[in-house]
Amino acid sequence: MDNYRFILSGGGTGGHIYPAIAIANELKVRYPDAEFLFVGAKDRMEMEKVPQAGYKIEGLWISGLQRKLSLTNLMFPFKVISSLMKAAEIVKRFRPHVVVGTGGFASGPMLRVAAGKGIPCLLQEQNSYAGITNKLLANKVRKICVAYDGMEAFFPAQKIVKTGNPVRSDLVSIGTDASEAIAFFQLQPGKNIVLVLGGSLGARRINELIAEKLPLFKSMGIQLIWQCGKLYYDEYIKHESEAVRVFSFINRMDLAYSAAGIIISRAGAGAVSELSIVGKPVVFIPSPNVAEDHQTKNANSLAVVDAAILIKEKDLEAEFDTVFSRLVESKEYREELGNNIKKLAMPNAANDIVNEIEKLLK
């Protein structure tokens, strides 16, 4: 049988969306006649990114609880009831063979309803510290694919399979010849290129740091590819120059990674997995404003084995210049970090997750 029906649910950030798309792409290779439906949260970025990837998506009226008392929180029970009803209607109409959840609030109602109707469900947890939605769903699903060791702290051990996080397929085959990439970004060959990534929406503190350090970078002869995020683009485009390329969002990440000699990044799970495959030296500056401080935990799991550098936001003033200068000046140090991070890569994650989905189909 080839005409299976799959629902993939998750979103809110690129870290939940891109793994879902990668899993769908791998399923499509194996089952060209299968039907796919994504279920996300209305008004979040999945409503734009999933159709761009060629898949249908429906939105639930759901959002997370705010940490402070707000009108949004008072609406939360109504959003949950509305989302459960919509999820039930989707399951009845689409009749999926398997439902996959990649985290984020939309996957909660969807997998709860599907599991309640006896439909096999699989969770994919990207982080080293499990998200609240996935923790709540753990007892209802049949398989949980993870990227880190020690996830028995959150999930039933017998359901866990360590697969790694799926990444965009164009990253798995990044070449060593950077000349095409350097030409694409209109930069000069033979000079250090630093790639700055603040996540899909941008990172205020990283942008402030880069703007502040532009004289330092200039004195070191460094060129920048700077993804500042769409929320900050209007503020930082003024720094664009021959040596500084500023983007709201980089569509050709394969070329950006290929061009870069050093990468400065947030430590979301998707970024950590991609950068492990890329195998370049990375300075992680985790966001302190995420649930359970999971980005710091993600970055620390690499820093403790000398596979990356971790600088907390609160330590940037004191540590950045020293750490960065050492990285630029020592080729051996860059190579050591690059080699160590590449050892942690799991480039076959999408393939391994789909193997688990196939077991559920049987």
Binding site members for UDP-N-acetyl-alpha-D-glucosamine:
13-15, 127, 168, 200, 250, 295
Q: How far apart are alpha carbons 175 and 172 in whole angstroms?
A: 9
Alpha-carbon separation of residue 329 from 36, 82, 217, 280, 313 (angstroms): 49, 57, 13, 15, 23
Supply the DSSP symbol for 240: -
**Binding site residues, as ranges?**
13-15, 127, 168, 200, 250, 295
DSSP 3-state of 35: strand
C-beta contacts of 187-191 below 8 A and 24+ residues apart: 187/223, 187/225, 187/243, 187/245, 187/259, 188/223, 188/243, 191/221, 191/222, 191/223, 191/243
Backbone angles phi, psi at 69, to 5 degrees: -65, 125
Q: Cα separations (Å) of 225 from 13, 197, 234, 253?
A: 22, 9, 16, 11
